[in-house]
Amino acid sequence: MITITGLKVDGKNCLGLRVDLPECPVPLLLITAEKGFVMCGFLNIEAAERTGASAAMVSGVRAFEDVMNASVKGVTTKARSLGVQEGMKGADALKHMF
């Protein structure tokens, strides 16, 4: 099942995408902002880098709130140019992507 949810970060609109995968205990999660996105560990930071995306990766998440509160583990060059850094919370990374 795929679920798309409107979310707010610092009063700004984001879009959350949740994909419940067959026979997998954790979902694929992605939250998009105007200039980039924060993704769960199912998605590949190296592939995001190759495409020139502004992306940050968090891991160990099961819900959108987890993505917002998790520490960023990986950052693309483009996201870094917006001020996103490893160790910041997912919500803080998204704030840099508006």
pLDDT of 49 reads 98
- Please report how many Cα atoms fall inside a 13 Å half-sphere around the Cα of residue 59, on the Cβ side: 10
Number of domains in the chain: 1
What is the pTM (predicted TM-score) of this model? 0.96
Residue 61's pLDDT band (cuts 50, 70, 90): very high
List the domain range (segments joined by +) for residue 45. Answer: 2-95
Residue 93's pLDDT band (cuts 50, 70, 90): very high
Q: What is the CATH number of the domain that holds 48?
A: 3.30.1980.10
Read off the pLDDT of residues 3-51 as tens digits, 9 standing for 90 and up.
999 999 999 999 999 999 999 999 999 999 999 999 999 999 999 999 9
First to last CA, the chain: 28
